[in-house]
Structure 1
Amino acid sequence: MTIRDYAPADWQRVTEVHDAARLGELAASVGVEAFLTLEQTYEGEGLFDGDLWVAELDGRVVGFLAFSDAEVTWMYVDPACHRRGVGRALLRHALERAGAEVELTVLDGNDAARALYESEGFVVTSTTTGRLVGNEAFTATGHEMHWYRERTVS
């Protein structure tokens, strides 16, 4: 597996990965009625506001992670590649480049993602219910999670 910077030529695959994975994410939480494509949401949700990395398997983009201001803002993996270490590799790539603290939000019901984050040291710091980011016509519950770099005492 290769993790690398996003390139404009990746756009088509990134949209395919997002759209397939987002449907699964919403099915387990808010409901698929809330689905909007990446093309519909990327500008308003700031996909390109920070760093954007893609994961490749056999030369094909199978996942991506966006990171901005100490926050994982987007992470999606092609459902055909779930449980193959893609999300973990992307997350570790971001954490290696992060400062002392990282935050993210995971939708209630997205148990596989939450389990991944917890296995990498994230802890739930708050749970809130409000408008679904990207499609404010829907209400969602999200768990804000934080990761803290271990500090060494000298």
Structure 2
Amino acid sequence: MKVNIRQYLASDLPLVLSSWEAATRLAHPFMTDEFIAQERINVAEVYMPNTNTWVAEIDNLVEGFIALMGNEVGAMFLQPYCHGKGIGKALMDKAQELHGDLDVEVFKDNSIGRSFYARYGFKQIEEKLHAPTGKQILRLTFTANADAPRMGQ
């Protein structure tokens, strides 16, 4: 399976939203349908136009994406059937190539995301309340170090 990481195009939006929603429902079972419906609108109308987004394309289909705001990973979502195949690592490697040190926030209850970020080398630096959901969020940081082995190496 060859993964092509490329810049997001407006025409990718339907597949980006599909990846976002499928992965959100899997990793965030505590989110209500109403919250997800509102966030889907926000992803399309607020986040995508204001981030530097890269997509993971497999067999000419967008199967996931990473949205960056400087060195902040605003979002990274993959179709669940793509988990564990190196696609998330390829997206994160692109972000790291562009920005070096990275930061991300992840829900404490999101064991899928937390496990991925830990394997990649992120470390927790803060925990705080996410008011809209009432859930805890962890702020993680990744410090680029050419000598440190990373996931898959």
**Shorter-chain TM-score tier:** 0.7 to 0.9
Match of 2:12 in 1: 10
1: distance between equivalents of 2:75 and 2:110?
14
Amino acid at match of 1:125: I
Spell out the pairing of 1:17-32 with structure 2 (5 A cutoff): 17-27=19-29, 30-32=30-32
Sort the Cα spacing of 1:141 and 1:78 in 2 relative to 1 into closer, same or farther, 3 A: same
Match of 1:103 in 2: 103
Give the deviation of 1:37 after TM superposition.
5.5
Give the deviation of 1:31 after TM superposition.
3.4
Spell out the pairing of 1:130-141 with structure 2 (5 A cutoff): 130-131=130-131, 136=132, 138-141=133-136
**1:110-136 Cα deviation digits (max 9, x unpaired):** 1121111111111000111131xxxx2
Match of 1:62 in 2: 63
Give the deviation of 1:46 after TM superposition.
2.6
Amino acid at match of 2:14: Q
2: distance between equivalents of 1:89 and 1:115?
16
Give the deviation of 1:39 after TM superposition.
4.0
Aligned residue pair count: 144
Identity %: 24
Match of 2:118 in 1: 118
- 1:64 partner SS: strand
Match of 1:74 in 2: 75
- Comparing both structures, which one devotes a greater share of its residues to helix? 2
- Comparing both structures, which one devotes a greater share of its residues to strand? 1
TM-score normalised by structure 2 residue count: 0.84
Match of 1:142 in 2: 137
2: distance between equivalents of 1:91 and 1:36?
26
Give the deviation of 1:35 after TM superposition.
2.0
| Structure 2 spans left out of the alignment, 5+ residues | 148-153
2: distance between equivalents of 1:96 and 1:87?
14
The alignment yields a C-alpha RMSD, in angstroms, of 2.0
